[in-house]
Chain A
Amino acid sequence: MTSQLTITAVEKLQSEITLKTKTFKNKIGIYVSLNKTQKSTEELLQKSGVDTSRLFFIDCVSKEKVRDDVLHISPENLDMLSTAIQAFIKDIPGERFMIIDALSTLLIYNNENKVAKFVQEITEYASQNDVYVVAFSPKTQGEELLNKIFNFFDKVEKK
């Protein structure tokens, strides 16, 4: 199994993300932040005891460049986002994982079909490269999208 979609209540979203991220001990991760800025996400993860030095952040919320090692990509530009994810997967050696928080946020900027295509593209690429993908989505948002992307994940979890 290389991919998982977790659908959870909005209030539980952050705790589920933290919990899942903690399970990837000693692995290097790519964190696609669609829900919060990289800064606040990192702070929350650090408070929960996650070693964020092993995480590469793609911040799709904030445009402000604070750190050189953080990529800022507009959520409208799924093509570039996909390119960035694939480049990270290619460049990071060893065991890797990827967290995508709040997939449904992409629906604010893109139509369902584009988002579904993007999800298919990255889950396929991750699977080919043995990268574990965990995508999160709040329960109440983007049901149509979730119906379209269920099949791209090996496991779908509702919490």
Chain B
Amino acid sequence: MNNKIYLAALIAISSIIFLQSSIAVHAAQPFNIEIDLPGSYQNVNPGTDVWFTIKLLNLDNLQRVDVTLNYDIRDSNGNSIIHNSKTVAIETQASFVADLTVPDNTAPGEYSVNVDVNSSLGESYAKTELNISHPEDDLAIYYIAAGIIVLILLILLAVKSRTLIEKIKLKMKIGRIVSKKLKK
């Protein structure tokens, strides 16, 4: 009897920890879903493969059940820009690695990775934020830095050449003074 209470408490604590660590989990769903999107994939460029792990937890039903995982990337209006799905069997919990390729023509902005789980038990979903930027945006800081350096060099060159021009003018003037005076 004590063992059963202990097991129940353990399961309850595990569930609470799992729920707290999930990026986006919705209540009253048959499956608890966690999307683990590594930091290196949270800000990507178009054309990049986005890899993530989907963790499913079904603590209520101990029987094996087939589920369809629908996962996609959506823009801020909820429009899907890339979609994929797979059917898997799950008992209590399972993790699946999935990937989606961000289309080349995707505009930069805030997006989300969405996972829908369909099964005979019902539907569950979760999402996590994804930022898509353009390679040009990443390079912008370098372009700005290079621009500033070029500008500084141009200013230095202008100052130097001004001095050089003044010296040349001075030498020419001296040449004229000397030749004029010595001719007299």
Interface residues of A (CB under 8 A from B): 28, 53, 56, 68-69, 71, 79-80, 83-84, 87-88, 91-93
Contact = CB atoms under 8 A, between A and B. Distances in A.
B166 A84 contact: no
Contact of A56 (B163, B170, B171, B181): B181
Contact of B178 (A68, A80, A83, A92): A92
Contact of A88 (B163, B178, B180, B184): B178
A53 B184 CA distance: 10
CB-CB nearest 6 A-B residue pairs: A87-B174, A91-B178, A87-B171, A69-B177, A83-B167, A91-B175
21 contacts: A56-B178, A68-B177, A68-B180, A69-B177, A69-B180, A71-B173, A71-B174, A79-B163, A80-B167, A80-B170, A83-B170, A83-B171, A84-B170, A84-B174, A87-B175, A88-B174, A88-B178, A91-B175, A91-B179, A92-B182, A93-B182
Contacts of A91: 174-175, 178-179
Nearest to B184: A53
Contacts of A93: 182
B177 A56 contact: yes
A79 B163 CA distance: 10
Interface in B128-184: 163, 166-167, 170-171, 173-175, 177-182, 184
Contacts of B181: 53, 56, 69
Contacts of A84: 170, 174
Question: What is the predominant secondary structure among interface residues of chain B facing chain A?
Answer: helix
A91 B181 CA distance: 12
A80 B166 CA distance: 9
A41 to B, nearest CB: 17
Contacts of A68: 177, 180
Interface string B1-35: 00000000000000000000000000000000000
B184 to A, nearest CB: 8
A80 B181 CA distance: 22
Nearest to A81: B170
Contacts of A56: 177-178, 181
B66 to A, nearest CB: 86
Nearest to B171: A87
A93 B182 CA distance: 9
Contacts of A28: 182
Contacts of B180: 68-69
A126 to B, nearest CB: 16
Nearest to A91: B178
A54 B49 CA distance: 85
Contacts of A79: 163
Nearest to A83: B167
A28 B171 CA distance: 18
